[in-house]
Structure 1
Amino acid sequence: MSTKTLVPTLRARPTLLTLALLAAFGSAAAQDKEQAQVVDGSVSAGIGFINEGRDDRSLYDQYRGLRPGSTVFGVFGVDYYRRDDKAGTLARFSGSDLLTNNRELDVLWKRQGDWSFSARYGELRRYDPFVPDTGLVDAGSFAPRVVPLPGGPGTGGDVDLKVKRTSLGLGFQKVISDRLQFDASLSTENKEGSRLFGIGMACPTFVAPGCRGTTSAEVGSAVLMLPEPIDANHSQAEARLTYAAQRFSLSLGYYGSFYRNSLGALVPGVSGSLYNPLGALLPVTTGLQGVLNQPVALPPDNQAHQVDLTGAYAFSQTTRANFKLAYSRATQHQNFAAAGFAAPAGVSDLGGKVSTTLAQVGLSSRPLPKLSVNGSLRYEYRDDSTPLAQYGLVGTGSFANGFTNRQYPLSTLRGRLAAGYQFTPQTKGTLSGTFNQVDRRTFTETSATSGITALRLKTEETGLKAELRRRMTETLSGAVALEGSRRDGSHWLRDVGGRGVTEEADPASVLFFQNGVFPVNLADRRREKVRVSADWQPAEALSLQAGAEFGRDRYDMPSAYGVRRSDMDQVDVDATYAINDNWNVNGFVSRGRQELDQVRPGGAFLALDNTATMFGVGVTGTVQKLEVGGNVSWLQDRSKYGQTLDASADLGSAALLGATGGLPDIVFRQTQLRLFAKYAIDKQSAVRLDVGHQRSRWTDWAWNYNGVPFVYSDGTTLNYKTLQNVSFLGLTYTRRWQ
């Protein structure tokens, strides 16, 4: 399939670069020396060094734009600015990271109060920190072939997974009159490469009849690493016409989004043999091989269009209203056959169509000198008119029942009302209330759910927040806020497998509800939060800011399983101290914690405790022509999994937990040191030296436990070094002119 874009593709890159250079430098030679002109520019060039070794740099290299394994890289950037006050024109050109894969170019050309033109070109390359060791043939293509490693894990070849983004953007603005203005922009981004992805299947399962389970002679389950191939373009277009009078403003806008994917599906080719969980290479059951060789859908082509009308009116100097009306339509017509998929008779594509209508109004007023009031009401209705067609079966044999896709209409009503009162010059209080209603309208009776026990059509949430701000002294001020909300909903709907739903007014009377699985976003929830903050400047040279937030959620579901509670707390402290006119010190400390308690089927209780701690300190100063500085920071993110079992747990689970002690912690720890020195050779030139070191430790049992990597069914492993050390040095020369 071909990729079509709305705006010029990246073949226009030389044109943009030529335009940028002409705008920035072409007319510079011809400029006169009148005082009305201001010219400023700089060019930076240098060289950087980084330690060798892909293994030590997989985390550091993710978004640096450097080639894996390279030890030397160039530094080049340019910035040019010219303003002609007499003519009222301004031109600016800038380029950064021009010698890496993360280069950026920006152009701005404008006449004050008349028109402006802007252009931007950018690249960004992301390397996956995991390096697969695999026997996969044509890895990263749309048709990879899975070949098990005959020598076992660790005997394959390395594959670098990377994604390259290349973007181009154009913008234009025209002032038509003193009350009318037009704005437009076009942008396009290409994405190419591959990223970590995979498939898996465990037999037997109702979605794959004839798929046999694992035996001593056959493999009946598999997990395969299959990188997702990427070759897509996303283009966007925006236009807006704005009218502004003394008390009234109105704006009419359009937004368009166009996504094109050159690849419709990932079509793997899986051989007849794979490794079982014990490491034995065995034949694959016929049913499993057929499932693994099925195509996997990739993101389909789609587009969306939206028009909106926004406005505001000032009734008086103290009362103002605003509104917004919008209508959008999103469609998806990717052809099934072209993407490699079978479809129901008479159906060529999904025919997806979702239309959304939005209406919003707001009012702000100050009826009294000390009282301010504001409120808003927002209504949104999403109409899903995608045609229904039978795409699958629920159950097997005589119990098999066809089901269709699901239409998902949705209406949302949100309201907010807030009032603030200035009690004294030092004290202000605010009280606000919120309301949020989500109505899913109807359940498509011919559709079916999987993995959950019941759904809700409607949920409602109301909230209240109170805040008090006070300036205690000339140097100390603070605030405290209390917030609470409660969510509940309509009766639960039990799906009966493609034959509609049954409404359960009394969930406690439904026996299997007691052990069911219910979506956490539909469950009854009670939420409380408290936040305190302070700003203190005990001396002219010292300032401190601190904040703390604590919150908790409590869930109520018909089942004994699911999420029961979650808690969070966050504490931050920032400080700045000016030692003298030339030296400054700053630092910060931050600690956040999240806890989640969940009860899982089989009598398992899981308590997730994630704690993130950060601190850092930095210093900058000058000594004559020399400016120096540096900072050191430390980060630790630790996830703990507390596990217990109740009396209903099976003996195997109890024995496993007793032998292993449960899941180990996942820990990410990083320390960074950065130093710089900048020496001014003269008023126009300077040289800068940057030195840094980064030390990272990442232990994740999902991929590597005690030096033993996770092994896919074909022997593929994902390699990364648990402890990584990176050192770098950069030397840059900058020349300025005015």
Structure 2
Amino acid sequence: MHKQTTLISRSLIAPLVLLAPAISLAQVDTSDWKCESCPFDEGYRAEVDAGATHVGEDGAIRFGNATGYDDKGGYVNVDGHGRYAADGYQLDWTIEDLGLDSRVFQLDGGRQGSFGFHVGYRELPYRRFDTTRTVFNPSSSDTITLPSGWVPAGITSNMTQLSSSLRRQIIGSDRQIIDLGADWMPARDFRVFADFRRQNRDGIDITGGSSFTQSSLLPRWLDYETDQIDAGVQYGTNRASLTLAYYGSYFTNQNPSLTWDTPFTFAPGSGQYRMAMAPDNDFQQVSLSGAYRATQWDTVVAFTLASGSGEQNEPLLPYSIDGSGGALPQSSLNGKVDTANYALTVTSRPLPKGRIKFAYRFDERDNKTLQSDWTRVITDLVAFGEVEQNVPYSFERSTITLSGELVVWKGIRVSAGGERKEIKRDFQEVAEQTIDAGWGQVRWRPLAWLDLRVKGGATERDIDRYNESVAISFGQNPLMRKYNLAYRYRSYGELIASITPVDSPVSFGTTVLYADDRYNKSQLGMTDSEEVRATVDVSWAVSENSSLYLVYGHENIDALQLGSEQLDVWDWSATHDDSFDHIGAGFHWSQPDGKYRLRFDFNRGDGETSIDVFSLSGGQSRL
């Protein structure tokens, strides 16, 4: 490898000035003073590294994922960075992996306290498979065709042209990312900023295409473009800050649909299928955020207000590629979702050894997409005939949290907190849900090398009403309660211990957790669950540059589920016993200068599940 360094700098020569104490500072003329040891960088300097690499294995594509070394052969690479500075202005440039598909270029410049700008470009290769074989010919458009002379059949073993038509297809994509940005300080405490990013992704991906009872894995072309804009105005002093910002994201798909030839036997006139891909969409948001630090109790108040809207109104495909199935209720979705996010946080230290924190957060997603009656479609050429409505899910979620910590004695800290969360949903079994939680913790450090923590708490999730009509519409038992929506009371306790001897390179840690969940108001579904988890870890600092670690964990979850075959009280039960074990070990080493690093990690997880089913009509069985 050849390394070349260019250094151009200016020298500052300064005389040593000795002043008698009796001379007044007002009489000193400093206009000719110069500094020869000041850290200010003047002039131009640069460093460039050039080298070559040879990859000799056919399986290099796996190694080349995200690195650019995705094919065997030789590679020439160039890295470098440089800086120019004069009179308070500076310009920095950086290049990495210039000869690879993972190249990075960055240019930053400006004047401190006045303005700044940056320009960036980088590429990111993603290589998923290099052993894929397919009979399809993906074009750069939105159509996939079969080779000429293809003979369709009902199953793959009867496809006479299958073996001769298979060809290699690399599955992967490339991203090109362009960054542009600038900031300007028109006044001392004000800053105006704007950033723009364009991301292009193109390549070949895999998607599934169904033709009723048969399906195919299709190599489809990707051609995505995403533009992001982040701009705003900031005001900041030593005690307060305020930011008004705009964020916009615009996604464009050059191939909004995919049409493919079916390789299976088909009825006359039905040899092609079509399905929609990701539609064009955009999201815009305006936010106001700020913080203020008060000297009273060292209090900090921070807030965020944000309002956004996402829209998608691309033309819809017809029910079928051949025009059958009738007319759509509307030509486009005209989808719109409004979002609102509000947050307030207050932290304070009213006592020298105590602090408190209050937080409130509100999140809303209001889906304003209109509902329409749609004919249910199984595949592109097979309509089910039933009419269904699209479901515009919405929710509101608010959370209030209060916590505090107090040092009650030397080495003993006591903390406690509570939280209340309220959730409102549309078109689900539970419209309103509240979650109340409380916890307490004692932390004790009796010795410099010993840290003990004991934590316990309880959580109650309550609901206003379980809408059984939703379950009936889905053909489910109306008495069944989904475990994530049903009433639940959870209590838990946890013990954490850390041992770090002062004069020893070895440290130990262990945690033990017990949790009990009760679904007391569920007649059918999950009724109770117990969880026990324990972990042990050991780490050894072999030297300043190397370390070893070993960790073991065990978790056991027991759960009871009740069910019914008669849409009435329970007539069968199932006991679930899930056991998980995890072991991990590793070794880390690096040179003092950080030039070379070596890391080895090993992880293994084992899980075992047993289910005992008891039926009032059929006795007991084990799965």
CA distance in 2, matches of 1:97, 1:549: 47
- Output the amino acid matched with 1:538: P
CA distance in 1, matches of 2:263, 2:551: 51
1:714-725 counterparts in 2 under 5 A? none
Contact 2:337–2:366 (Cα < 8 Å) also in 1: yes
Secondary structure of 2:296 counterpart: coil
Contact 2:198–2:228 (Cα < 8 Å) also in 1: yes
Residues 335-376 of structure 1 show CA distances to partners (whole Å, capped at 9, x for unaligned) of 225999889556221111111233322222222222211111
Match of 2:363 among 358, 377, 380: 380
Give ranges in structure 1 of 5+ residues lacking alignment.
Answer: 1-24, 203-220, 274-283, 444-453, 503-509, 663-738
Secondary structure of 2:478 counterpart: helix
CA distance in 2, matches of 1:401, 1:565: 40
Give ranges in structure 2 of 5+ residues lacking alignment.
Answer: 13-35, 379-383, 566-571
Using the TM superposition, name which of 338-347 and 352-361 deviates more.
338-347
Secondary structure of 1:330 counterpart: strand
> Alpha-carbon deviation of 1:307?
0.8
Q: What's 1:121 paired with?
A: 121
Contact 2:499–2:507 (Cα < 8 Å) also in 1: yes
Match of 1:468 among 407, 420, 442: 442
Q: What's 2:25 paired with?
A: none
CA distance in 1, matches of 2:262, 2:473: 39
Match of 1:53 among 58, 74, 79: 58
Residues 409-458 of structure 1 show CA distances to partners (whole Å, capped at 9, x for unaligned) of 32111111011111124222221111111101x43xxxxxxxxxx72222
Change in Cα spacing, 1:100 to 1:244, as seen in structure 2 (3 Å) is same
Q: What's 1:584 paired with?
A: 545
Contact 1:596–1:607 (Cα < 8 Å) also in 2: yes
Q: What's 2:391 paired with?
A: 406
> Alpha-carbon deviation of 1:638?
4.6
Match of 1:331 among 304, 311, 327: 311
Are 2:280 and 1:310 aligned? no
Contact 1:252–1:309 (Cα < 8 Å) also in 2: yes
1:262-301 counterparts in 2 under 5 A? 262-273=254-265, 294-301=273-280
Contact 1:313–1:321 (Cα < 8 Å) also in 2: yes
CA distance in 1, matches of 2:466, 2:132: 45
Are 2:604 and 1:636 aligned? yes
CA distance in 2, matches of 1:295, 1:521: 37
Q: What's 1:99 paired with?
A: 99
Are 2:353 and 1:370 aligned? yes
Contact 2:546–2:590 (Cα < 8 Å) also in 1: yes
CA distance in 2, matches of 1:644, 1:74: 62
1:432-581 counterparts in 2 under 5 A? 432-440=417-425, 442-443=426-427, 455-495=429-469, 512-513=477-478, 520-527=483-490, 532-533=495-496, 536-540=499-503, 542=505, 544=507, 546=509, 548=511, 550=513, 554=517, 556=519, 558=522, 565=529, 567=531, 569=533, 571=535, 573=537, 575-577=539-541, 579=543
The percentage of counterpart residues that share the same residue type is 18
> Alpha-carbon deviation of 1:99?
2.5
Contact 1:133–1:154 (Cα < 8 Å) also in 2: no
Match of 1:44 among 49, 68, 91: 49
Match of 1:191 among 201, 218, 223: 201
CA distance in 1, matches of 2:395, 2:234: 31
Are 2:242 and 1:250 aligned? yes
Are 2:217 and 1:225 aligned? yes
Secondary structure of 1:116 counterpart: strand
- Output the amino acid matched with 1:334: E
The TM-score normalised by the length of structure 1 is 0.65
Contact 1:456–1:522 (Cα < 8 Å) also in 2: yes
Change in Cα spacing, 1:595 to 1:371, as seen in structure 2 (3 Å) is same
CA distance in 1, matches of 2:365, 2:205: 33
CA distance in 2, matches of 1:475, 1:374: 29
CA distance in 2, matches of 1:49, 1:188: 33
Residues 588-622 of structure 1 show CA distances to partners (whole Å, capped at 9, x for unaligned) of 23445666778799999876666553311134467
Change in Cα spacing, 1:139 to 1:479, as seen in structure 2 (3 Å) is farther
- Kindly name which structure, 1 or 2, has the bigger radius of gyration based on alpha carbons: 2
Q: What's 2:413 paired with?
A: 428
Q: CA RMSD in A?
A: 4.3
Contact 2:469–2:478 (Cα < 8 Å) also in 1: no
Change in Cα spacing, 1:523 to 1:230, as seen in structure 2 (3 Å) is farther
CA distance in 2, matches of 1:138, 1:317: 67
> Alpha-carbon deviation of 1:248?
3.6
Residues 151-201 of structure 1 show CA distances to partners (whole Å, capped at 9, x for unaligned) of 598773332110211111122222222221222211111111232321447
> Alpha-carbon deviation of 1:135?
2.1
Contact 1:229–1:266 (Cα < 8 Å) also in 2: no
Structure showing the higher strand proportion among its residues = 2
Change in Cα spacing, 1:160 to 1:627, as seen in structure 2 (3 Å) is closer
Change in Cα spacing, 1:533 to 1:596, as seen in structure 2 (3 Å) is closer
> Alpha-carbon deviation of 1:130?
7.1
Change in Cα spacing, 1:425 to 1:141, as seen in structure 2 (3 Å) is farther
- Output the amino acid matched with 2:57: E
Change in Cα spacing, 1:72 to 1:33, as seen in structure 2 (3 Å) is same
